[in-house]
């Protein structure tokens, strides 16, 4: 998650974060059920994120859900981008016809400079091509720069439906509403638009293959009043009291905590804390984010090699999460997550 997203959560959250209780030994945990593998922005460790190519690769690798972050165009269309500022993830800076669109905006209290999706129509955005957001860490993915356009959320749904029919297994979608309060202030009602798209695609059901996630509690609660689709509250740091979990469970079917909220990443054996069991006791699924294979994202004990982009032992991190009883896990490398899951749950 970006620094901007983290700050947005801090600024908008109505659920105060409390200190976590002591960790329990991982050795005492047991897998409770076969967890979901959620392809975070697609197979984004291997292809530029939020492209149909990244989502297709994740599906081919066995992911259960593909995850698009959603922002909006000037003409009110939901598109898949990490942020509404798109200079990092597209070639917009190479388009002289859009040079005068560069500007500054304050998004959830943070001043950001660049090009913003809400200043472009869908037709204009479709002239851009996607780029790898982390080229220094992921040069192999960056080799695919310039090949894929920005997909709409409808195109992501169509891909999931088509590949479900092709493979004979259900492939769900896991959209995140990015900065919904900001977009609402610009007369772009994200929650209402998203609810409409889900209705149009027969995904407005309690047990539909979809989860709608957001860091902002108020828009997520408002979305719950518009749609029967399952919801997930994303949380960033610290822990949640039982009372706060109970409140969250009123409008959220699941909790999406940062990895360090469910595992002690600095301790030997990666012992699990109590948040998973507490959230599940409140009736919520638990889907932590995000497992990545590069050293720069791994605990020190799991790093291998010298370079930040070298791949470490993410398999051990996945095993710890599965043993801790998570209901699903976000990952940039779904092939690894599927392989570890199959070894643990289907042997």
Q: Which residue has 């772009």 as its token pair?
A: 188
Query: CA–CA distance from 3 to each of 107, 155, 248 (Å)?
Result: 12, 28, 23
Catalytic residue among 40, 50, 179, 287: 40
What three-state secondary structure class fits 130?
strand
Q: Report the distance separating Cα 277 and Cα 210, nearest Å.
A: 23
% helix / strand / coil in the chain, to the nearest 5? Answer: 40, 20, 45
**CA–CA distance, 40 with 328 (Å, rounded to integer):** 12
Give yes or no for a contact between 335 and 61, defined as CB atoms under 8 angstroms apart. yes
Q: Is 50 a catalytic residue?
A: no
Distance of CA 64 to the CA centre of its chain: 14
Please pick, among 50, 82, 179, 287, the residue that the annotation labels catalytic.
82
Helices and strands of the chain, counted as H and E runs: 12, 13
Contact 51, 130 (CB under 8 A): yes
Whole-angstrom distance, CA of residue 328 vs CA of residue 325: 9
Q: How far does Cα 58 stand from its chain's mean position?
A: 14
Q: Tell me the C-alpha distance between 248 and 243, whole Å.
A: 9
> Is 40 in the active site?
yes
CA distance 231 to 57: 25
CB atoms inside a 10 Å sphere around CB 99: 10
d(CA 258, CA 37): 16
Tokens of 185: 């202030």
Active site residues: 40, 82
């Amino acid at each position: 998650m970006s620094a901007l997203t983290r700050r947005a959560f801090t600024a908008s959250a109505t659920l105060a974060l409390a200190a976590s209780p002591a960790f329990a030994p991982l050795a005492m945990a047991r897998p409770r059920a076969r967890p979901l593998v959620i392809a975070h922005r697609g197979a984004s460790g291997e292809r530029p994120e939020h492209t149909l190519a990244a989502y297709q690769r994740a599906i081919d690798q066995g992911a259960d859900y593909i995850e698009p972050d959603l922002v909006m165009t000037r003409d009110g269309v939901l598109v898949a981008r990490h942020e509404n500022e798109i200079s990092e993830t597209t070639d917009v800076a190479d388009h002289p016809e859009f040079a005068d669109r560069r500007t500054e905006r304050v998004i959830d209290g943070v001043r950001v400079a660049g090009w913003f999706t809400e200043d472009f129509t869908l037709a204009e955005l479709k002239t851009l091509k996607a780029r790898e957001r982390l080229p220094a860490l992921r040069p192999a993915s960056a080799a695919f720069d310039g090949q894929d356009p920005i997909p709409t959320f409808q195109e992501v749904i169509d891909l999931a439906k088509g590949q479900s029919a092709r493979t004979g297994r259900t492939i769900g979608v896991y959209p995140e509403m990015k900065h919904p309060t900001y977009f609402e202030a610009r007369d772009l009602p994200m929650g209402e638009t998203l609810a409409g798209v889900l209705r149009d695609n027969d995904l407005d059901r309690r047990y539909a293959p979809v989860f709608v996630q957001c860091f902002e509690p108020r828009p997520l609660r408002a979305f719950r009043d518009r749609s029967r689709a399952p919801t997930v509250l994303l949380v960033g740091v610290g822990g949640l009291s039982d009372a706060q979990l109970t409140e969250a469970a009123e409008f959220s079917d699941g909790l999406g905590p940062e990895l360090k909220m469910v595992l002690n990443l600095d301790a030997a054996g990666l012992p699990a804390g109590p948040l998973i069991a507490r959230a599940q006791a409140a009736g919520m699924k638990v889907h932590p984010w995000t497992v990545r294979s590069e050293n720069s994202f791994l605990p020190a004990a799991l790093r291998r090699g010298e370079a930040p982009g070298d791949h470490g032992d993410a398999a051990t991190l996945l095993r710890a999460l599965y043993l801790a009883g998570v209901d699903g896990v976000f990952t940039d490398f779904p092939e690894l997550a599927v392989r570890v899951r199959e070894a643990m749950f289907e042997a």
